[in-house]
Amino acid sequence: MNDLFTYLLKVSGGLVIITAPYYLVLRNDPNLVLKRYYLLLGLLASWLFPLVSFSRPDLLPGLTPVFYVDPLVALPRLTGARIPDDLPLQLNWLQVTLFIYLAGVLSMFIRNLVVLSRWNRAWKTAERSGGVAYTSNNHIFTLFNRIFIPGAFRGKSDLENVLLHEKAHLHQFHFVDLTMMELTLLLTWFNPFSWLISRMIKENHEHLADRKVLTSGVSPARYRAQLLNQVLGVPVFRLGNPFNHSITFKRFNMMKKPLKSNAGIVKFLVMVPLVLVTLAMTTGTSRNQEQVKGRVLFADTGDPAQGAAVVVAGTREGTVTGPDGTFQLDVEGNPELVISFIGYNTLRIKASEATRKDLRLEPGVFELDPGDMPEPKNTTAGGGPVDKPESGSSQDGEIFYVVEELPMFPG
C-alpha cells in the first residue's frame, strides 16, 4: 500500500513540475503544435519517470523519507495482556485514506461510463450523414471519432464552419490526448494540477481547431461572431471537444497572433531540458540505488509485523512495514538493516539477505541483574539506621524475626 501511495505522489509531483512552467511561460505562446506535444509528452513522463532509474548526483544528502505510521500499530505489543472492553475505537488512517481514494476513482469511472453510454445511445438513434449525427439537443462537439451537431443546424450557412472546427479535432486525433488525460484524472483526481493540465490541454485543442478554420479562408470577424452567437449550455462529457468551449477573450486574442513565434521556440529550447532534468531528479530513482523488499513477521504468532521500523544502520533513512508486514526501501550497496518493534528484540540483517526469507522478530525478555540494583537502606521510625544483628545471634541455626503488631483498642 505504501508503494502505491508513493508512486501516486511521485506522479502528482511530476504533474506539478510539468504544468506550472507551462501555465506561467507557455500558455499564451502561439506555437500551438509545440505546446500540444509538450503537454502530451509531459503527461507521459509524469507516469514513466518514477519507474525509471537515472544516474544522478546526490544533491540532497541526509534526506529522510517520511511515511505514515498508524498510531494503533505503533503501540507496544502486549502478549497475554487483557484488553479492556471499553477501549476507544482507533481508526486506521492509512486504510481510511485508501477507501476515500478508491471511492473517488469509482465515482468518476461510473460517471464517465454513464455519460459515454448515453451518448452512444444518442448516436444510434440520431440521423447520421457522413460521420455526423444530427441530434435533438443543443450541444456541438466531437467524441472520439464521432461528431454531434444539433439538427437545427442542417441547411444553415454556418454549418460549414462548424464542421471544419469539429473535423479539425477529429483529424488531429485530439481524442488521444483527452483519453490519456481522462485516465490521469481518474487515478489522480485528488491533485488540483491534474485538473489544471486537463484544462490547458482542452484550451490548446480549441486554439488548434480555430486556427484550422481560419487557415481555410474563413473570415476571422465572421467566425468570432459565430462563436459568440452560440448558446452556452451545461458542460458536456470531458472526453469530447465542444464547439463553444472556452469562448473567452484569450481564445479570440490567439486568433490574432501569428502562426509561430521565434521567441516562443527559444523558450521551449531552454525550458524543456530544465523541466526534464528536474522531473528525473525529483521523481526518478538513482541508478546507484537498489530496491530492497522484504516481509517481517512476529515469531511467536506468525502474524505480519505491521508498523515495524526498518532503518538503514547508521542513518535516519528508513520506512515502516505495511499491514501485510512488507516493506520496500531504496539503498546503496549492501548496508545493514535494523528492524525493531516495541516489545521485541531488534533484528539486524544485511540488505541482500532481507529479500531471501521472511524476517521474524523474537519476543523480547528483559531481566534485571540484581547486582545492578542499589542496596536498600533500612532506617528506624525515627530516621536512624538499624543496627545489624551480630553474627551468630541465632539459636539452633535459626534466624529469629521480630514482628511488631500495632495495638488494637476496643470499641
- Tens of pLDDT along 306-352? 889 999 888 878 888 888 888 888 887 788 999 999 889 999 998 88
The Cα–Cα gap between 151 and 134 comes to 5
The separation between the first and the last C-alpha atoms of the chain, rounded to the nearest angstrom, is 72
Between strands 127-129 and 289-298, the pairing is unpaired
Mean pLDDT of the chain: 78
Q: Taking 80 as the threshold, does the pLDDT of residue 7 lie above it?
A: yes
Q: Which residues fall within 8 angstroms of residue 262, CB to CB, at 6 or more apart? A: none
Q: How large is the average pLDDT for residues 10-36?
A: 93
What is the per-residue pLDDT for 51?
84
Q: Which residue has the higher pLDDT, 143 or 60?
A: 143
Mean predicted confidence (pLDDT) in 152-178: 86
- Please determine, for residue 24, whether its predicted confidence score (pLDDT) is greater than 80: yes
**Per-residue pLDDT band at 270 (split at 50, 70, 90):** very high
Residue 337: predicted pLDDT: 92
The sign of the CA dihedral 96, 102, 105, 110 is negative
Task: Identify the pLDDT of residue 135.
Answer: 84
The confidence score (pLDDT) of residue 351 equals 86
The ranges assigned to domains in the chain are 2-64+91-282, 288-361
Position 211 pLDDT exceeds 50: yes
What pLDDT is stored for residue 374 in this prediction?
Answer: 58
pLDDT of residue 126: 82
Query: Does the pLDDT at position 118 exceed 70?
Result: yes
Quick one: pLDDT at residue 386? 54
pLDDT at 52: 79
Q: Which residue has the cell 464521432?
A: 146
Q: What percent of the chain has pLDDT over 70?
A: 72
Three-state secondary-structure class, residue 290? strand
Q: With 60 as the cut, is the pLDDT of residue 113 above it?
A: yes
0.85 exceeded by pTM: no
CB 295 within 8 A of CB 304: yes
Rounded distance between C-alpha atoms, residue 328 and residue 332, angstroms: 13
**What pLDDT does 33 receive?**
94
Say yes or no to pLDDT of 3 above 60.
yes
Residue 316's pLDDT is: 78
Q: Which CATH superfamily is domain 288-361 in?
A: Carboxypeptidase-like, regulatory domain (2.60.40.1120)
Length of the chain: 411
pLDDT(221) > 60: yes
The answer to whether residue 11 scores a pLDDT higher than 50 is yes
pLDDT tier at 186, thresholds 50, 70, 90: very high
Place of cell 502528482: 12
Contacts of 153 (CB under 8 A, 6+ apart): 134, 140, 159, 162
Query: pLDDT tens digit string along 346-405?
Result: 999 988 888 888 899 999 765 555 555 556 555 555 555 555 555 444 455 555 555 555
Average pLDDT over residues 220-233: 70
| Contact by Cβ (8 Å): 221, 40 | no
Q: Are 11 and 194 contacting, i.e. CB atoms less than 8 angstroms apart?
A: no
Q: What is the pLDDT of residue 62?
A: 39
Give me the pLDDT at residue 152, please: 77
**pLDDT for position 105:** 94
| pLDDT digit string, tens, across residues 48-78 | 988 877 655 544 443 444 444 444 444 444 4
What is the DSSP code (8-state) at residue 379?
A: B
pLDDT per position as a tens digit, 235-248: 444 455 555 545 56
